[in-house]
Structure formats: structure tokens, C-alpha cells
Amino acid sequence: MEKLTPRQLILKSLKEKSSMKQDVYVNTFKAFSLMKSMAFEIVCEIKKDSAEIDSRVVVDYREKGEFEFELRIAGDLLIFAMHTNIFEFDKSHPLWRSSYIKDDHARSFCGIINIYNFLNDSFKYNRVYDLGYLVGRVFINKENHYFADGKRQLGFLYNDFVHSVIDEKAIRSLLESTILYCLNFDLFTPPFDSIKEISVSDMQTASESMQIKTGKRLGFRFQADNDEID
């Protein structure tokens, strides 16, 4: 076999990898755009019904640009953010053992949509020291196959990467599961010893900037929050 020149190797890489990554990006962006419209639709449905239950409950959709949008559901703020780069699974990832990836390594390159959960009040009152949590990630490849990893139902309902194709039905299911998880992911009272000390500065400025840190699992190991549904 004739040895390729550096120029030929560059062109080969551009053809086999760079073009493929462009395809993955396009698929992920299309899925994210569909996720935006579906999220807006779900919010409209919930807002109409929730108003009859309690008009004080906040239900809102806010677009923050091409790659980010927010859902405000009651006391929760869900932030969905699409990463603009393409990633490959680490070689230790279990998916490398599947024939789906072994038959075509390019299938292991994915775009990522990250899902974060914050408290509404953290942003409302500018509590910059409050904590949010990454509760899920959605991976999409060149063939529009997808899977999600994350907490509880997000981690085990959407993990059939070999057969699952991202579409409107899948996106609605993902969004509804995410909302349900975050609504059931309650704010815990932190252990006394984790908050018994506070600086004078924090106390003096607490009324204006609320610098006493708040988070749903503050003082606990979030990683230890089991993945079983309560």
C-alpha cells in the first residue's frame, strides 16, 4: 500500500472525521431546536392547567439564545444548554463493547445537551453562591441515535443508544421526565454542622445579596443521592 503524504492524510482526516462531526453538530442542533419548541408547548399546556390549581405557581419558558433555554416550574429553574463541540466516548465507556460502535467507530462521536437544575430564587435574589446540579445529559450521534445519562429516570429510561432515534416523541418524554425529576428533587435542610459557622461579612451582606449558600443537597453528597424513584 502506497504511503500517504501529509497533505493526503490531512484531506483524509477532513473527509472522514471533520465532515462527520459537522453532521453530528447539525443533528444535535436540530434536536435542540425541536426541544425548544416542544418545551414551549409543554409549558403552555402546564400553565393553562396549573392556573386552575393555584395561580401563584410559576410556569414559564425563556429562550436565552441559540444554545440555551430555561424552564421555570414552581420553585425550580431548569436550564438546557447545547454544547457547540463534538465529543467521543472514553474508551472505557461500556458502549464500546457494543457491536453498534465496534462496526463503525464514528458512531461514538456525539453532540451533548446538558440539563441543569437550580432554584428559581437563586436567580431572583441574585444569590450567586447558591448551587445548581447537572441532572442529565443527552448524547446524539451522526445517525440521530441518542441516549441520556443522569439521575434516576433520566439514567435508565433512555439508555438504548443502539436502537433509540431522537424524534418529537422522544424529546417530549425526555422533557417530561426531567420536569418530574426536578419537582421531586426537594430542598433538604442541611446538616447543622455544615452551616453552624458563618462569616461576619456574609451575615452583614446577607440581606442584600443573600450570600448564605443554598442548594437542594447542600451539606450532603449529591453523588450519593440514590437513583431509585421515591
Q: Is residue 13 part of a domain?
A: no
- Average pLDDT over the chain reads 83
Q: Is residue 144 part of a domain?
A: yes
**pTM for the structure as a whole:** 0.81
* Three cell numbers written together for 110: 456525539
User: For the residues 198-220, what does the mean pLDDT come to?
Assistant: 55
Q: Is residue 204 part of a domain?
A: no
Confidence at residue 203, expressed as pLDDT on a 0 to 100 scale? 61
Angle subtended at Cα 118 by Cα 112 and Cα 120, rounded to the nearest 5 degrees? 135
More confident residue, 122 or 68: 68
Segment 123-175, tens digit of pLDDT: 888 887 788 889 999 999 999 999 999 877 777 788 899 999 999 999 999 99
More confident residue, 213 or 100: 100
Confidence of residue 191 (pLDDT cuts 50, 70, 90): low
CA 171, CA 116: separation in Å to the nearest integer?
16
Its domain, for residue 174, covers: 18-186
**Cβ-contact 111, 83 below 8 angstroms:** yes
Closest CA to 71 of 214, 177, 154: 177
Q: Is residue 102 part of a domain?
A: yes
Q: Is residue 203 part of a domain?
A: no
Q: Is residue 230 part of a domain?
A: no
Percentage with pLDDT > 90 across the chain: 49
Q: Is residue 12 part of a domain?
A: no
Q: Is residue 112 part of a domain?
A: yes
Confidence at residue 65, expressed as pLDDT on a 0 to 100 scale? 92
Count structural domains, the chain: 1
